[in-house]
Each structure stands twice: as structure tokens, then as C-alpha cells.
């Protein structure tokens, strides 16, 4: 705004000076075309100055916008950091029951084979605030089998977990079919923990691979949320 006022003042002053000079000196009266050229050049220079000044103002505005954006990002990062430091963080682990065993059953004629496993699932709140566990939904299947998407779903409900507290539950899982040991077929256990903390509702997906021959349990990393509907 101040620059615009200064520009207007310079333009008015130049006009007044040109008018006085043109009226005092006869040479300018006799050569008015020169005077017109000089006045035109002065106007072009003033216009060029205005454009340069506008570019500087534009650059300054962009710099201010960038600073405001960086400040907003910093404030968002700080708020997110505070949120993460105060929220509930759950961790889970899958273990065998006291006697690790996998049961295989059929109808006595080798048909309608089923696999059963009894496991322990430990859930712990490693955060600083409580977590309200709405449900723990689990399912066991044999990956690649046509029956893997229609296996039994086991759902349990837990009490709220205080900060630093843990809880252990028993999972009785079953699925159709029997893994082929000679082809290294594995059992897959998928668990979805639905819970709320003081900020929002959260979902924690877990997936484990079980070797039916050695009974080793391996956790699979970077899993997506499985489509397990609660019955």
C-alpha cells in the first residue's frame, strides 16, 4: 500500500515538473514532439518500476505463504506427536496353550476333514491411557484352499485395558480341511482387534503362520485388515 502511494506521488510530481518546464522554456514549446517523447519515456519508466515493484511484492507474498505453511505443518506435527504420546498402543502375541496340539478329525471315512487348534492370545496396552477393546475376531484357515474364506470365525470381548495392563484369552479355532505336510502347507491365523482409545476408534490386524509339523508360530509383518465379519 505504501509503495502504491509513493508511486502515485512520483507520477504527480513528474507531471507537475514537466508542466512547469514546458511552460517556461520556449524551446520545448517549439519542439512539443520532443516534450511528448520525454513524457512518454517517463511514463514507460514509471510503468516498468511499478512492474518490478509488483514482482518484488509477489515474491514477498509467496515467501510469507510458505512461512505460514511451514508453521502450520510444524503445529500439526506437534499436535500429532502429543496425540501419539498420550494414546493407547496395543500389542498382541499368539502362543500355544499349555499342551501344544493340533487336532485333525474326519467322519471316519476320510471325508469332511477338519483342523482344530487351541491357542493363547495375549493383548497388552503399552500406551499411557486406557483402551476399550470392543471385540477380538479371529479365524484360522489353510491358505490357497477354496474353503479358506468360509472358515469358522471366533469372536470374544475383553474388559477395558488400563495403561500398562494386559489380558490373555483362549482361542479355540477350527477350519475345514487338513494341511498337507509333505507339501509344506501352513495354517494361517488372522486376528482383528477392534478398540477405542481416548481419541478415536482403531483397528489392529494381526496375522500368524503356523507350521503344523513343528508347531512353530511365525508372525507375518505388514498385513492388511482382513474382511472378517462378526457373527
Residue 176, domain CATH: 2.60.40.10
- In-domain check, residue 38: yes
Could you tell me if 122 and 175 lie in one domain?
A: yes
SS3 assignment, position 52:
helix
Q: What number is the average pLDDT over the span 104-108? A: 84
In whole angstroms, what is the distance from residue 173 CA to residue 151 CA?
9
- What are the E-state strand segments in the chain? 90-96, 102-105, 114-125, 132-141, 153-156, 166-176, 187-196, 201-210, 217-220
Q: Which of 59, 86, 113 is the last residue of a domain?
A: 86
Q: What number is the average pLDDT over the span 169-176? A: 89
In sequence order, which residues have a C-beta less than 8 Å from that of residue 197 and are 6 or more positions away?
87, 88, 127, 129, 130, 131, 132
Q: Which of 86, 117, 136 is the last residue of a domain?
A: 86
Could you tell me if 214 and 113 lie in one domain?
A: yes
Helix (H) or strand (E) segment spanning residue 49: helix 32-86
Could you tell me if 145 and 205 lie in one domain?
A: yes
Number of domains in the chain: 2
Determine the structural domain holding residue 14 and report its residue range: 2-86
Q: Which of 70, 86, 102 is the last residue of a domain?
A: 86
In whole angstroms, what is the distance from residue 194 CA to residue 64 CA?
44
| Mean pLDDT score across all residues of the chain | 77
What would the pLDDT profile of 150-162 be if each residue is shown by its tens digit? 456 778 788 889 9
Could you tell me if 134 and 151 lie in one domain?
A: yes
Q: Is the pLDDT of residue 26 over 60?
A: no
Could you tell me if 95 and 81 lie in one domain?
A: no
Q: Is the pLDDT of residue 44 over 90?
A: no
Q: How confident is the model at residue 231 (pLDDT cuts 50, 70, 90)?
A: very low
CB 147 within 8 A of CB 141: yes
Could you tell me if 170 and 192 lie in one domain?
A: yes
Amino acid at each position: 500500500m505504501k509503495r502504491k502511494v509513493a508511486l502515485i506521488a512520483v507520477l504527480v510530481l513528474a507531471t507537475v515538473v514537466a508542466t512547469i518546464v514546458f511552460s517556461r522554456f520556449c524551446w520545448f514549446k517549439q519542439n512539443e514532439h520532443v516534450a511528448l517523447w520525454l513524457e512518454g519515456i517517463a511514463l514507460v519508466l514509471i510503468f516498468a518500476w511499478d512492474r518490478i515493484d509488483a514482482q518484488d511484492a509477489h515474491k514477498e507474498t509467496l515467501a510469507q505463504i510458505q512461512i505460514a505453511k511451514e508453521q502450520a505443518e510444524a503445529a500439526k506435527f506437534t499436535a500429532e506427536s502429543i496425540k501419539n504420546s498420550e494414546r493407547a498402543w496395543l500389542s498382541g502375541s499368539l502362543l500355544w496353550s499349555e499342551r501344544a496340539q493340533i487336532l485333525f478329525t474326519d467322519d471316519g471315512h476320510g471325508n469332511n476333514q477338519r483342523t482344530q487348534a487351541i491357542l493363547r492370545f495375549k493383548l497388552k496396552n503399552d500406551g499411557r491411557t486406557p483402551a476399550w477393546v470392543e471385540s477380538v475376531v479371529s479365524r484360522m484357515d489353510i491358505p490357497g484352499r477354496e474353503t479358506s474364506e468360509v472358515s469358522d470365525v471366533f469372536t470374544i470381548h475383553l474388559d477395558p485395558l488400563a495403561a500398562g495392563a494386559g489380558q490373555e484369552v483362549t482361542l479355540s479355532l477350527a477350519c475345514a480341511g487338513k494341511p498337507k505336510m509333505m507339501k509344506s502347507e501352513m495354517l494361517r491365523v488372522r486376528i482383528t482387534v477392534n478398540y477405542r482409545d481416548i481419541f478415536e476408534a482403531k483397528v489392529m490386524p494381526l496375522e500368524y503362520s503356523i507350521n503344523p509339523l513343528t508347531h512353530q508360530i511365525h508372525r507375518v509383518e505388514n498385513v492388511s485388515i482382513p474382511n472378517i465379519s462378526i457373527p
